């Protein structure tokens, strides 16, 4: 079997042990446009260490998008390959003895079907917002305004900044008054992960509009950011359903930075890409994006009170704590693991769904410059988690709207476990 180190250089695919294909900085004009509009989707199952390392390199180093699918007995990858280098891709992976399964051709992801679903889904009883559909950013803003007007003694809205395209970055501050420990939650950092804003909205709904949860806001305050990347989120609704990044303008006509690689902690290390067209492009410098800059300022401003930080993502179905860039363990790794494990047990009791628990590097993948690593390693928040919600649909991120109630209700059971721990350990 060929390996990365002995693959023939004359193929123009391997350099210094890594695949080259067509370097992103060379992608301009028609080839760049082709990359944006037509892809081939493959399923790949790595069987060797070399194969796994190649997939990790492609995920962070090139313009191929890799989606990880977790199954009961094996781990496979979905690879979306730009149509113009389908031949090079198949030749290279064939030489490396990969088992490729062609899933079909993709055209730029359409939003029409998702829009139809959003328009037709009914609202849940006793809620002014539906949890059986995905909402546009304007609808989310309207719901936040409704909460602040209906519950003025409990909910305060704040615009903590503006996005690249001048959309307000809005948070809901839930408090009954006084100085109390804070649980900070953000969602929608990656645009295509629609289930995460739905989760954040449900937490707000459950905290404020369900009387049985009144105890959750008596001794703990909550800061909830439903959509941390509104530009990308809106773009995923109107143009490209699977858009991931922000919408800032880059060189060579490229757009967007991965906000979860743009934080100033171990920035631009392994697990992030320097190439503008990569899904994990870390940006020209830390906090280059207003979305990450303003979120970090929000955290620093409230640092004395924030005791727990959760960033919702999808679709790995896990609860991960730092670190993503190294195998080294945080000083309180045991505490974070045990707390996450108890939350996972509570989640399982609702619908029987399991979530993996471990460090980001253990249960997800290598990454650097993430919000949770920064919040823990730079800001100094003791309890930090990346909470990956379940996937579904054709590519994991397009979880059917019908699954929203199952996900948000089971995860809220875990959130209550986190709340209990903060209340017991950080209140007077």
Q: How many CB atoms lie within 10 A of CB 194?
A: 25
Of the listed ranges 2-6, 74-78, 306-310, 374-378, the one predicted with least confidence: 2-6
pLDDT at 32 over 70: no
Among 424, 428, 425, 415, which residue's Cα sits nearest to residue 222? 415
* Strand locations in 20-142 (E): 38-44, 65-70, 75-82, 100-107
User: Is the Cβ–Cβ distance between 240 and 109 less than 8 Å?
Assistant: yes
Distance CA 258, CA 279 (A): 7
pLDDT at 284 over 70: yes
- Residue by residue, DSSP assigns 207-254 as HHH-GGGGGGGTS-EEEEES-S-HHHHHHHHHT-TT--S---B-GGG-
Distance CA 422, CA 207 (A): 16
The answer to whether the bond into 315 is cis (omega within 30° of 0) is yes
pLDDT digits (tens, 9 = 90+) for 6-31: 333 333 334 344 444 444 444 444 44
The CA-atom distances, in angstroms, between 184 and each of 181, 286, 307 are 10, 22, 8
In this predicted model, which residue has the larger pLDDT, 258 or 121? 258
pLDDT band at 335 (very low <50, low <70, confident <90, very high): very high
Domains 32-107 and 137-426 share a fold: no
Average pLDDT (226-239) is 98
Distance CA 197, CA 134 (A): 9
Per-residue confidence (pLDDT) for residue 62, from 0 to 100: 58
Of the listed ranges 68-77, 198-207, 226-235, 366-375, the one predicted with least confidence: 68-77
Per-residue confidence (pLDDT) for residue 211, from 0 to 100: 94
- Beta pairing class for 318-321 and 168-174: unpaired
In the residue annotation, 388 being an active-site residue is answered as yes
Per-residue confidence (pLDDT) for residue 100, from 0 to 100: 84
Distance CA 39, CA 55 (A): 17
pLDDT at 114 over 90: no
Average pLDDT (331-357) is 97
Q: How many CB atoms lie within 10 A of CB 76?
A: 16
Q: Which residues contact 111 (CB under 8 A, 6 or more apart)?
A: 236, 237, 238, 239, 240, 241
pLDDT band at 106 (very low <50, low <70, confident <90, very high): low
pLDDT digits (tens, 9 = 90+) for 34-73: 445 567 888 888 888 778 777 777 766 555 666 655 543 4
Q: Within the chain, what is the greatest distance between any pair of CA atoms?
A: 69
What SS3 class is residue 397?
A: strand
Average pLDDT (314-337) is 96
In this predicted model, which residue has the larger pLDDT, 275 or 138? 138
Looking at domain 32-107, which CATH architecture does it have? 2-Layer Sandwich (3.30)
pLDDT band at 77 (very low <50, low <70, confident <90, very high): confident
User: Is the Cβ–Cβ distance between 336 and 330 less than 8 Å?
Assistant: yes
> How long, in residues, is the chain?
428
pLDDT band at 398 (very low <50, low <70, confident <90, very high): confident
Of the listed ranges 56-60, 91-95, 277-281, the one predicted with least confidence: 56-60
Q: Looking at 59, 291, 388, 410, which residue is catalytic?
A: 388
Average pLDDT (74-103) is 78
pLDDT band at 2 (very low <50, low <70, confident <90, very high): very low
Distance CA 258, CA 370 (A): 9
Of the listed ranges 84-98, 102-116, 185-199, 355-369, the one predicted with least confidence: 102-116
User: Is the Cβ–Cβ distance between 66 and 28 less than 8 Å?
Assistant: no
Per-residue confidence (pLDDT) for residue 287, from 0 to 100: 98
Q: Would you say domain 137-426 falls under CATH 3.40.630.10?
A: yes
In this predicted model, which residue has the larger pLDDT, 278 or 345? 345
Distance CA 145, CA 156 (A): 9
Domain range annotation of the chain: 32-107, 137-426
pLDDT at 282 over 90: yes
pLDDT digits (tens, 9 = 90+) for 263-274: 999 999 988 988
Q: How many CB atoms lie within 10 A of CB 247?
A: 22
Distance CA 128, CA 124 (A): 8
Q: Which residues contact 348 (CB under 8 A, 6 or more apart)?
A: 354, 355
Q: Bridge-partner residues for 38, per DSSP?
A: 107
User: Is the Cβ–Cβ distance between 405 and 202 less than 8 Å?
Assistant: no
Distance CA 292, CA 160 (A): 11
pLDDT band at 88 (very low <50, low <70, confident <90, very high): confident
DSSP state of 24: G
DSSP run (H or E) holding 158:
strand 155-162
Q: pTM of the entire structure?
A: 0.83
User: Is the Cβ–Cβ distance between 188 and 227 less than 8 Å?
Assistant: yes
Distance CA 388, CA 375 (A): 17
What percent of the chain has pLDDT above 90?
62
What percent of the chain has pLDDT above 70?
80
pLDDT digits (tens, 9 = 90+) for 162-202: 999 999 999 999 999 999 999 999 999 999 999 999 999 99
Of the listed ranges 124-128, 315-319, 356-360, the one predicted with least confidence: 124-128
Distance CA 310, CA 320 (A): 10
Q: Bridge-partner residues for 320, per DSSP?
A: 358, 386
Average pLDDT (330-349) is 98
Of the listed ranges 94-98, 325-329, 361-365, the one predicted with least confidence: 94-98
């Amino acid at each position: 079997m060929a390996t990365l180190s002995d693959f023939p250089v004359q193929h123009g695919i391997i350099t210094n042990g890594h695949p080259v294909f067509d370097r992103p900085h060379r992608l301009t004009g028609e080839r760049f446009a082709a990359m944006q509009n037509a892809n081939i989707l493959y399923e790949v199952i790595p069987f060797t260490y070399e194969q796994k390392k190649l997939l990790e390199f492609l995920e962070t180093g090139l313009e191929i998008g890799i989606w990880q699918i977790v199954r009961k007995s094996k781990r496979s990858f979905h690879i979306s390959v730009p149509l113009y280098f389908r031949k090079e891709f198949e030749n290279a992976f064939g030489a490396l003895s990969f088992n490729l399964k062609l899933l079909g051709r993709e055209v730029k992801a359409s939003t029409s079907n998702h829009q139809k679903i959003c328009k037709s889904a009914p609202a849940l009883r006793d809620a002014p917002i539906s949890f059986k559909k995905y909402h546009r950013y304007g609808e989310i803003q309207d719901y936040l305004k409704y909460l602040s007007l209906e519950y003025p003694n409990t909910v305060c809205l704040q615009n903590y900044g503006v996005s690249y395209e001048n959309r307000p970055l809005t948070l809901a501050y839930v408090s009954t008054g006084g100085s109390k420990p804070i649980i900070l939650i953000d969602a929608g950092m990656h645009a295509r992960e629609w289930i995460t804003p739905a989760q954040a909205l449900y937490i707000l709904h459950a905290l404020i509009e369900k009387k049985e949860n009144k105890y959750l806001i008596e001794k703990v305050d909550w800061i909830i950011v439903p959509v941390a990347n509104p530009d990308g989120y809106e773009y995923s609704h109107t143009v490209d359903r699977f858009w991931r990044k922000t919408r800032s303008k880059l060189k060579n006509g490229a757009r967007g930075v991965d906000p979860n690689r743009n934080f100033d902690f171990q920035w631009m290390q392994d697990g992030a890409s320097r190439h503008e067209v990569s899904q994990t492009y870390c940006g020209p410098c830390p906090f280059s994006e207003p979305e990450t800059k303003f979120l970090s300022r929000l955290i620093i401003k409230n640092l004395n009170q924030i005791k727990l930080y959760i960033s919702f993502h999808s679709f790995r179905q896990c609860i991960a704590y730092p670190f993503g860039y190294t195998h080294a363990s945080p000083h309180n790794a045991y505490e974070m693991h045990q707390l996450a494990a108890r939350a996972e047990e509570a989640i399982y009791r609702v619908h029987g769904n399991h979530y993996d628990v471990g460090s980001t590097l253990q249960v997800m993948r290598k990454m650097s410059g993430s919000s949770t690593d920064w919040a823990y390693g730079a800001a100094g928040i003791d309890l930090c988690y990346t909470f990956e919600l379940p996937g579904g649909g054709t590519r994991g991120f397009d979880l059917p709207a019908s699954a929203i109630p199952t996900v948000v209700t089971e995860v809220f059971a875990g959130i209550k476990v986190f709340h209990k721990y903060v209340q017991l350990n950080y209140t007077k």
